[in-house]
Structure 1
Amino acid sequence: MFQGESLTFYTYARVDEGRGNRWAYTGLRNFFFCDEASAREALRELRGDIESDPDDTWAPMQLEKIETVPVSRESVLALLNDGIGAFVKRYEIIETLD
């Protein structure tokens, strides 16, 4: 990996329009994937697990594409000290699964 290179990853999250900071810590772990297909498959599996439990209800989730800030010693330190939000340059919602 070259220093200064931005990276692209994929993730998913619960739709929460009331949350002001997408990357604020919620107590739930984020999962990241190298490609959209892997993220989409993980989200389908999660939905299947939730829907198979009669005591649980599926809530809308969004599939997201993120681009990191350029990788550097400083940006990795920001990631470690301040959380994922300090490492995300931009993100976009690819799809919402209702």
Structure 2
Amino acid sequence: MSEGQSFTFYSYAIVDENSDDRWAYTGIPEIFFYDEDSAREALRELREDVESEPENSWAPMQLEKIETIPISRESIFALLNDGVGAFVKSYEIIDIVD
């Protein structure tokens, strides 16, 4: 079966230097964006929401660029059965929002 195209998406996550597996299931769904600007805007809005409550404090978040493995029947099964981490070819932290 021929493989399909890879895609680039963007996301964000709490900075956690102690985490061994960025894509481990935490019970909190990942949110993905088509472009960096949309992800950055969502992160800005999240920060405003968090900081609008006096009892909340902002934790540093990392903005990430994610490349998927090529789309194929096998890669879709890996995504469905094993989670997002099985579908990620590479990712890089492109910014830390303190």
TM-score (norm 1): 0.96
Q: CA RMSD in A?
A: 1.1
Query: 3-state DSSP class of the match of 1:33?
Result: coil
Distance in 1 between residues matched to 2:26 and 2:54, nearest whole Å: 25
| Number of the residue aligned with 1:42 | 42
- Which runs of structure 2 are paired with 1:81-92 in the superposition (5 Å)? 81-92=81-92
2: CA distance, partners of 1:15 / 1:31: 15
Which residue in 2 is equivalent to 1:60? 60
Structure 1 residue ranges without an equivalent (≥5): none
CA drift of 1:75 comes to 0.2
Q: How many residues align?
A: 97
Match of 2:77 in 1: 77
- Alignment of 1:28 with 2:28, yes or no, is yes
TM normalised by structure 2 equals 0.96
Once the two structures are aligned, what percentage of the paired residues are identical?
A: 68
Which runs of 5 or more structure 2 residues have no equivalent in the other structure? none
The 4+ residue runs of structure 1 with deviation greater than 3 A are none
